[in-house]
Amino acid sequence: MTAYRADSAMADYRQSLILALRMRDVDGDRIGEIVAQVESHVADTGEDPGEAFGPPREYADLITADRPRNPRWPIIILALFGAVAGWLVAQGALAQLLGETSFGRPGWCR
């Protein structure tokens, strides 16, 4: 493989690997370490990065397989409760501000 093709293949692999790692929420410093390891190996052996490490997505899956994922459901539940509480406060404040009542209850509660 010529030097131009090797550089082009490494640049394409690097870009795809960085994207795959970012999609898996890997920290930027860790991505830099991984890319440096890949570049070092390719420079030392002269291998094509795709042949040495496999496709970038599969390599990113392999690297992040043992990493625990942060559950997002607590954030979603808190956001939902916050939205409902905000809506109720806004409705109550608006009814109080306008003085709407019906049978002792605010007008928005009919």
Average pLDDT of the chain?
A: 84
Average pLDDT, stretch 41-58? 91
For residue 104, the model assigns a pLDDT of 64
For 102, the 3-state DSSP assignment is: strand
69 vs 19, which has greater pLDDT?
Answer: 19
For residue 66, the model assigns a pLDDT of 80
Average pLDDT, stretch 73-84? 93
Angle of the 3-23 helix axis to the 28-45 helix axis, nearest 10: 150
What separation in angstroms does the CA of 68 have from each of 22, 32, 46, 76? 15, 20, 34, 19
d(CA 55, CA 101): 66
For residue 4, the model assigns a pLDDT of 47
Instruction: State yes or no: pLDDT of 90 exceeds 70.
Output: yes
Q: Name the β-bridge partners of 102.
A: 105
